[in-house]
Structure 1
């Protein structure tokens, strides 16, 4: 349900909360909703193609018949969840979101972001978990066939400083640990991240970069990085 980008429209603040990771806010600009974290624009509902691609490309890259458990890091406005729920391949879909406010904007009336998640909130395969992604990755015993991360504006533009460690060599070690054999790691970025791409190529035999053109004043394409141990 994308809406056109209208930079002239004045934003209306719908909700703003202070949490353990700082301030998070929901704004409406015309028909578009925006999530702002610590004063930094994070995402909106104007498009969603790259967020959907994050999931579909990861599932397509898996060996046939192995799309068992999908993890989405970051609920956001819901585009990735909508894509996952529309795909019959995952047997289980876990969505991690650390901000209770974002979960509430999807699940508590009037739930303005719920429509953008498609059938995700009603899908019996879906489990929505409030947790920090890094904490979950370090403590879980689960193994994921597809690990789709969209918790920042990219490896070079993190929402909080602590997230930066996820994209270094130590973070990649943590990510590798929770991947099932033949699993695929997918990472969303608001722009190309060449240093991160080099790290991926140093750890994974198979790395692919997918660019998605965006129709905003930013100009740079969104990027989805795919990495797997399947050469």
Structure 2
């Protein structure tokens, strides 16, 4: 893996984007930019996320916990660290018994551990319930499924949606076999939540066909454009 990086800088005075680091990772180029006080992550030229809002990423975790009702010390898997909103939401909730975050990009892990994003995630990373795992989410979920179910909730945010993946190989996560692995990685009654930049009735049907129940889609209004959505489904008890 090649690695070329610009040094981390302080917040620029204008809203013009400043590249803090550009790195060639296992799945292509990832870039951390700063625009005023906001950080942005770009992958292979595709905008992924920034630190301007985070409502939908937080809802991803909050609503999954609500679906679990009164279950004690539930175990959560977060797929994709991103800018850390989902992790921060989980770490702020004492009900979670364990929080595993799977992130495949070494650069993003570094930006949270020792780079500019550490100011956003330091408390959550210091939480003894938090474990960061550097791995491909698709492979990790299949391993969890083979073990017979490890988690009470899977909150996945690695793409712009099931129909708009960051890399082609991510599409297998939303295939019948991938969704079956997600189901089996959950304990009975466990919840799957998938973030998306747009709704997908086809994905809802795929969830139902994969053996999930309580399938629904929640919309989260954004400042501009169509609402973000979170797809929810549960493994039958």
TM-score w.r.t. the length of structure 1 is: 0.91
Q: Which residue of 2 aligns with 1:135?
A: 139
1:23-38 matched pairs, under 5 angstroms? 23-38=29-44
CA-CA distance at 1:211 after TM superposition: 0.5
Q: Which residue of 1 aligns with 2:203?
A: 196
Quick one: distance in 2 between partners of 1:204 and 1:133?
20
1:136-175 matched pairs, under 5 angstroms? 136-140=140-144, 141=147, 143-175=150-182
Q: Which residue of 2 aligns with 1:94?
A: 100
Q: Which residue of 2 aligns with 1:5?
A: none
Q: Which residue of 2 aligns with 1:125?
A: 129
Quick one: distance in 1 between partners of 2:33 and 2:207?
35
Q: What does the per-residue CA deviation read over 1:146-194, in whole Å, with 9 as the maximum and x for residues that have no partner? A: 1000001111110100001111211111111100111000000011122
Aligned pair count reads 220
CA-CA distance at 1:10 after TM superposition: 1.7
Q: What does the per-residue CA deviation read over 1:23-47, in whole Å, with 9 as the maximum and x for residues that have no partner? A: 1000011111100001100000010
Quick one: distance in 2 between partners of 1:212 and 1:116?
22
Q: Assess if the C-alpha contact under 8 Å between 2:33 and 2:39 holds in 1.
A: yes
TM-score w.r.t. the length of structure 2 is: 0.89
Quick one: distance in 2 between partners of 1:146 and 1:9?
38
Query: Which segments of structure 1 move beyond 4 Å, counting only runs of 4 or more?
Result: none
CA RMSD of aligned residues (A): 1.5
Runs of 5+ in structure 2 lacking a partner? 1-13
